[in-house]
Amino acid sequence: MYKILFIDEEQETFDDFLDYVELSSTKDNIEVQTQFPLEHLDEMVELIFKINPDAIVTDFRLNEMKTDIKYNVPYNGVELVQELLKIRTGFPCFVLTAYDDLAVSESDDVNKVYIKNILHNNKEESKAKAKFLDRVIYQIEHYKSKIKSVEKELLELIELRKSGKANISDEERIIALDNFLENIIDSQHSVPPEFKTLSNEDRLNKLLSTVDEILKKVDNGD
């Protein structure tokens, strides 16, 4: 089961998205949680990580139709995604918009921006080989698979080092994989590779333990 957090300022759009999922062939594999954007960006990011979804889908203009919220939202969906990715590199994020030109121009990755009319079963979505929800699931699986692959390789290299058979190339690879996993957990507080020491196995073990906890939460849908 994949947990998708859908963020919008309108209850009506929540209903549209839930209907869209219900009509999809992947509905049995998807759990949707809806959420209004919070007033402050940092609080919104904190809430997202507390909810711990497998992916987020957010509207672009979060401050446009405020019939269901009474406060000002000083950020848009692209800015929310950019802030999330500063903390957790590669996390699956998608922006839905009726203003694709503007959203694309503001986004660091145009592949994260999709036209909102897919929610109304337009012909383009029907004919597409990879529908929107298929892309969401693919990105979730790719993200999880990459983490597990890196973790496995890092564990193997640590064992190689313990056996005394690791060479310079192996040691450099350990640092690269270590840095990747840190960026997955919290890139804002990761240690730059040039300042890392290869002898600190306690830190590596703690890092791997944290990654395991994240993967367990993702797999269990917590």
Range 4-32 average pLDDT:
92
Domain assignments of the chain as residue spans, ordered by start: 2-140, 143-220
Torsion angles phi and psi, residue 70, rounded to 5: -110, 0
Collapse the DSSP code of 57 into the 3-class scheme (helix H, G, I; strand E, B; otherwise coil) and give the result.
Answer: strand
Which CA distances in Å does 84 have to 27, 93, 128, 167?
26, 9, 29, 36
Model confidence over 69-106: pLDDT tens digits? 989 999 999 999 999 999 998 999 999 987 656 555 55
Correct CATH for 2-140 of 3.90.230.10, 3.40.50.2300, 3.20.20.150, 3.40.50.11900: 3.40.50.2300
Model confidence over 145-191: pLDDT tens digits? 999 999 999 889 989 988 888 888 888 898 888 888 888 876 655 55
Decide if 155 contacts 212 (C-beta within 8 A): no
pLDDT of residue 126: 47
pLDDT of residue 128: 45
